[in-house]
């Protein structure tokens, strides 16, 4: 039943101002609105909602990811914008931090709150 409806994605933030600067200014998402509880962005046809939290601990896995057409170009652009890509021991990543998975390529980075994000190409 839900497969035909748009999906919203949520992530926590302790500092909505920093989150807005990062998601809008660095990643290039479109800022939509803000209220005392959330800040809302658009990425393509997807709504991404920053939930304002007083406290939370970032989880040790990816919470948001983007499927891109040219991961090397995307990672290079984000790196020039100040994004630092994560390196994981035991995973062979290239000089840009991209891991070649069995199904494609993935690179991970963190937002200002320590949430793990990714870009991938399949």
Query: Domain limits of the chain?
Result: 2-121
> What is the CATH T-level fold of the domain 2-121, as seen in this structure?
2,3-Dihydroxybiphenyl 1,2-Dioxygenase; domain 1 (3.10.180)
Give me the DSSP letters along 38-54: EEEEEETTEEEEEEE-S
pLDDT in tens, 46-96: 999 999 999 999 999 999 999 999 999 999 999 999 999 999 999 999 999
Contact 41, 29 (CB under 8 A): yes
What is d(CA 31, CA 28) in angstroms, rounded to the nearest whole number? 9
What is d(CA 114, CA 116) in angstroms, rounded to the nearest whole number? 6
Q: What is the pTM of this model?
A: 0.94
């Amino acid at each position: 039943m839900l497969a035909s409806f748009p999906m919203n994605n949520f992530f926590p933030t302790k500092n909505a101002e920093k989150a807005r600067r990062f998601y809008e200014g660095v990643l290039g998402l479109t800022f939509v609105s803000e209220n005392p509880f959330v800040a809302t962005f658009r990425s393509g046809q997807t709504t991404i909602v920053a939930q304002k939290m007083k406290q939370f601990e970032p989880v040790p896995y990816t919470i948001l990811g983007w499927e891109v057409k040219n991961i090397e170009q995307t990672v290079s652009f984000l790196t020039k914008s100040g994004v630092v890509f994560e390196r994981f021991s035991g995973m062979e990543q290239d000089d840009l931090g991209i891991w070649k998975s069995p199904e494609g390529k993935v690179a991970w980075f963190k937002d200002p709150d320590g949430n793990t994000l990714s870009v991938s190409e399949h």
